[in-house]
Amino acid sequence: MRKHLFVLFSCLFVVNIGFGMTLPVLTFYTERLALAEGVSRDGISLHVGLLTSVYAVMQLLFAPLWGRFSDRLGRRPMLLLGIGGYAVSLLTFGLASNLALLYLARVIGGIFSAATYPAAAAYVSDRTNGEERNRGMAWLGTAASMGVVVGPALGGVLANRNWHFRAEFGHFVADSFSIPFFAAAALAIATLVVAVRWLPESDSNDYVAKPTKSVGVGWLELVRTLRPLLVLAFIGQFGLALFEAIFVLYANARFDFGPFEVGAIFVICGLVMALFQGILVGYLAGRVRESNQIVAGFTLMGLSLGLLATTRIAGSVYFLVAFLALGMALIAPNLSALVSKQTDQSNTGAALGIQGMANNLGQSGGPVIGGALFVLSVGTPFLVTGGLLLATGLIVGLRTLSSSRAETRFG
C-alpha cells in the first residue's frame, strides 16, 4: 500500500512541477502574443487576468463531475485522464501563436487538471483509514506544494535561456518561449507512463459491476451533508488566494520590495506549507482532533494577515508569511480528511470534487475582493480578511468546545 501511495504522491509532485513551471512565464508569454495582435497595455493586463480566471473556472465546474466519475469508473482512470489531458494542454500552450489558442490551452488545462486532485485524494481515502488518512492527506498536500515550489524555479531557469530556435506548423509556432511548456508536458507524459505501469486501482472490487444505487447520493444531499466543511474550505482558500494576489502590490507599495524579495517570500510560503503538512500534521494525526488543528490554522492565518496589515518592519514580513503558511498547512489536509470521513467510499470522489469546487470559488473570489479593498488602502485587504479568518476560528473553536462538553456530559 505504501509503495502505491508513494507512486501517487510522486505523480502529483511532478504534475505540480509542470503547473509551477508555467507561473513565471505566463505573463510574459501572454504579453508577447497580445502585443503582436495590437492589444493595448491595459488590454494585456485584462487578458492575463482572464487567462488566470478561466483556468480556475474550468476547475470549479469540472472538479465535482470528475469526482463523481471516479466513484463510478475508478480513481486510476480519472488520474490517467487528468495527467494526459494536462500534458495536451501544455503542448498546446507551448505551440500557441495567438491569444485564441492560449485561451484554448487554459480551458483544456483547467478541465483536465480538475480530474487529478479529487481522484488522488479519493485514492488516499480508499487506501487509508483513521489517523492514517490524515497523514495521507497531509503528504498529498506536501507533494502538491513541493511541486509548486520547485516548478517556478525550474521554469524561470528555462525561460531565461535563449534557445535560438523557431519552427512553424500552420497556426502553431515553437520558439524559446515554448521550452518551459514543452518541458512541463514532457514531465506530465513521463508521469503518465509511470502511473500506467506502477499505479494500480485503489480497490478494483469497488468498480466492477457496481449497482447504481451505491453512488446514488445526489449533489444537493452531499452539499447539505458537507456544508460546514465546504464553508471552511471556501474561507481558507479565499484568504490564501487574496494574500497571493495582493501581496506583490502590498509589498511594493509599503516596503518597495522587488521581484527577488517577493520571490523569496513565496518560496518560504510554499516550503512551510509543504514541510509542515507532511511533518506537523502527520505527527498530530491521532493526537490532536482535526477540528482543533483547523481552529489553530484559522487563528494563525487571521493573526498573520492582521499583523501584515499594520507592520512597518520589512523583516517581520518573512516571519508573518511563514505563520500564514503554517496556518493553511493545518487547515487543508484536515478538511480533506474530514470530508472523506463524512461520506461512504462510493461517494468519496464526488465529495472531494465538491470540496474542490468550494476551494476554487474561494480562489476566484479572493483576488477580486482583495483588489477592490486595496483601492481603499494598502493594508485594508489583509485587515478585513484577517478579521474574517479570526472570526471563523473563534466560531469553530466555540462549536468544538461545546461538542466536547456534550460528549463529556453524555459519554
Highest mean pLDDT of the ranges 15-19, 32-36, 379-383:
379-383
pLDDT of the residue at 409: 52
pLDDT of the residue at 214: 43
Q: State what percent of residues in the chain have pLDDT above 70.
A: 89
pLDDT of the residue at 323: 96
Say if 1-204 and 220-411 have the same CATH topology. Answer: yes
Q: Where are the domains of the chain?
A: 1-204, 220-411
Q: What is the pLDDT of residues 100-154, one digit of tens each?
A: 999 999 899 989 988 888 888 889 888 887 667 878 888 888 888 888 778 777 7
Residues 389-398, mean pLDDT to the nearest whole number: 95
1-204 CATH: 1.20.1250.20
Residue of 56, 385, 50 lying closest to 250 (CA atoms): 385
The C-alpha cell at 401 is: 468546545
Kindly report which listed range (89-98, 198-207, 377-386) carries the lowest average pLDDT score.
Answer: 198-207
Name the pLDDT band for 348 (thresholds 50, 70, 90). confident
pLDDT of the residue at 211: 40
The answer on pLDDT for 210 being more than 50 is no
Residues 179-190, mean pLDDT to the nearest whole number: 87
Q: Contact 24/159 with Cβ under 8 angstroms? A: yes
Superfamily classification of domain 220-411: MFS general substrate transporter like domains (1.20.1250.20)
pLDDT, averaged across the chain: 83
pLDDT of the residue at 364: 79
Name the pLDDT band for 1 (thresholds 50, 70, 90). low
Residues 332-351, mean pLDDT to the nearest whole number: 83
The answer on pLDDT for 155 being more than 80 is no
Q: State what percent of residues in the chain have pLDDT above 90.
A: 26
The answer on pLDDT for 205 being more than 60 is no
Residues 153-174, mean pLDDT to the nearest whole number: 72
Q: Contact 159/25 with Cβ under 8 angstroms? A: yes
The answer on pLDDT for 216 being more than 70 is no
The answer on pLDDT for 360 being more than 80 is yes
pLDDT of the residue at 12: 86
CA dihedral sign, ordered 46, 363, 159, 174? negative
CA dihedral sign, ordered 23, 87, 142, 59? positive
pLDDT of the residue at 193: 93
The answer on pLDDT for 64 being more than 60 is yes
The answer on pLDDT for 287 being more than 70 is yes
pLDDT of the residue at 264: 80
Report the residue count for the chain. 411
pLDDT of the residue at 257: 86
pTM: 0.75
